[in-house]
Amino acid sequence: MSVINCINTEFADKKIERCSERGTGCKLKLDTSYEHIIIKGEKICNDRKICDCIIFVNQNGAIIVGIVELKSKHIDASDIKEQLTNGSKIALEILKECTDTCDTSEFYPIVLAKGGGRTSEHAMIRNAKIRFGSKKHRIITKKCGDSFFEIVSQLK
């Protein structure tokens, strides 16, 4: 069974069709030509702050993990870091249930915002790092409506 199929089976009641947040108008575009699953953060973890979406993609045999926080206006760097950190931990737990090669997965912590917000908050977010397994990754900030694969391909 593929990693995506395993996640789909084990977490079927937590999945959603698209990474978007009602009321904010903010969404992440996702090319559906690759096998993928999107988990809603609040459906899988309701006892602490968590990111909006956890995305798992099988791109030519490589597992790509994206944790995504969507913001319309108010941006608080410490809240976002906490939400992404918790999302990272959950993503790792999910992967460990479905594969033993978590360390070879690509990982991208992403914040999409409509704009606005204080420049100092944006700088704090971009300078923050999120741990995934044994590695730390810088948070990626982009605009609402950007494509997951365009973001990822710019960083490879």
Q: Is 16 exposed, middle or buried (0-12, 13-18, 19+ CB in 10 A)?
A: middle
User: Which H or E run includes 16?
Assistant: strand 15-16
Q: Which amino acid is at 155?
A: L
CA distance 85 to 115: 22
Is 54 contained in some domain?
Answer: yes
> Mapping DSSP to helix (H, G, I), strand (E, B) and coil, where does residue 20 land?
strand
| In-domain check, residue 156 | no
Domain assignment present for 45: yes
16 inside domain: yes
93 in a structural domain:
yes
Structural domain includes residue 100: yes
Domain limits for position 65: 3-151
Q: Give this prediction's pTM.
A: 0.92
pLDDT band (50, 70, 90) for residue 48: very high
Tens digit of each residue's pLDDT (9 = 90 or more) over 7-41: 999 999 999 999 998 777 899 999 878 899 999 99
The chain-wide mean pLDDT, for the chain, equals 89
**39-42 contacts: CB < 8 A, separation 24 or more?**
39/7, 39/11, 39/14, 39/15, 39/90, 39/94, 40/14, 40/15, 40/16, 41/83, 41/87, 41/90
Number of folded domains in the chain? 1
**Is the pLDDT reported for residue 102 higher than 70?**
no
pLDDT score recorded for residue 62: 86
Region for residue 137 given its phi and psi (left: phi exceeds 0; alpha: psi -120 to 50; beta: otherwise): beta
d(CA 8, CA 12): 5
List, for residues 52-71, the tens digit of each pLDDT value.
Answer: 999 999 988 889 999 999 98
Domain assignment present for 56 = yes
Closest by Cα among 59, 150, 156 to 112: 150
Contacts of 122 (CB under 8 A, 6+ apart): 75, 113, 141
